[in-house]
Amino acid sequence: MREKKRILMLTTGGTIASTVTDRGLAPVLHGDELLKGLEDLREICRMDVLEVCSLDSTNMTWAHWLKLTETIEAHYDQYDGFVICHGTDTMAFTAGALSYLIQRLGKPVVLTGSQKPITQEITDAKRNLRDSVAVAMDEDCPGVQIVFNGQIIAGTRAKKVKSFSFDAFTSINFPVLGVVQNGRVIRYVKEEKSTESPVFYHRVHPKVFLLKLVPGMQPRILKPIFEEFDCVIVESFGVGGIPDSIAEEFFRLLGRYEPGEKILIMTTQVTYEGSDVDVYEVGKRIRERFRFLEAYDMTLEAVFTKIMWILGIGELSFEEIEELFYKKINYDTSVTHVKE
């Protein structure tokens, strides 16, 4: 008889572990309580449960990403796969962060959660947990991925797009990796399992600011941002550009620094198809004056967590930062070269 796969389920709280309180839903269920009514899972695998934290995912921070990384590293050799129960609101950020903090994975690391608590009569929690365990047991599914509503989504391509519906997540600018149907994993995009030892990173650089542009934005907000943060991600309109209302001050402040001192990343508020700063004059004028990074078809969550990982490595030149930013990791980008 084939030995059962060993799966470690890590819990962090979230809606899946929540119950109704007089102040609204709050994550109070412990790991073993999540498995009540799912005893059949223990029949197909050897499952252990470890509580990492118990939070509404709104309160997840980069410190929790590092704690999850450290926990997986500490138990990596003892288990065949990992399931992380997580709140949906920031799950895509955590999936992105783990994609960069744990590389060359030879085993599945699966994040899941639910839109309804597992204790409710109508819930997506039990299906998502069952599907996630199926993927975590599958040797052909290495790497960080989100499993939700039957879809397997690369950890760097996932985005929450619905607030209440069970099909809350979608894969942005990249096909889903596969699906789970009646407990059977059907893989569309097959990943080569790494034969090398995984690499775990233990630092991120938190001084990254996301500047979301709005019409008529005033320049006085820019100075403290450039003073406090080492990287500014500009979530611009359309394919990308800096509006006239802030352009003069933005360029003046950025011009004080050498490339690598302050990192500028241009991305877009548009969900699909990505950025291309070179299309319009409002974008071309940045290209003519400054060296910066561009997200192209990467998700905001991937951009944010990737640059935190890169800057956390240590002292790097702009060229080294650029090379790492455009390096494809866990399907995060289709850009295969740096634009001249």
User: Which positions are annotated as active-site residues?
Assistant: 15
- Residues with Cβ within 8 Å of 63's Cβ and at least 6 positions away in sequence, in order, are none
Give, in order, the Cα–Cα distances in Å from 226 to each of 79, 232, 315: 44, 8, 19
Please check whether residue 250 is in contact with residue 219, taking contact to mean a CB–CB distance below 8 angstroms.
yes
Spatial distance between the Cα atoms of 6 and 46, rounded to a whole number of angstroms? 5
Q: Are strands 108-112 and 143-148 parallel, antiparallel or unpaired?
A: parallel
Q: Which long-range contacts (CB under 8 A, 24 or more apart) does 160-164 make?
A: 160/88, 160/89, 160/91, 160/92, 161/271, 164/115
CA 175/CA 153 separation, integer angstroms: 8
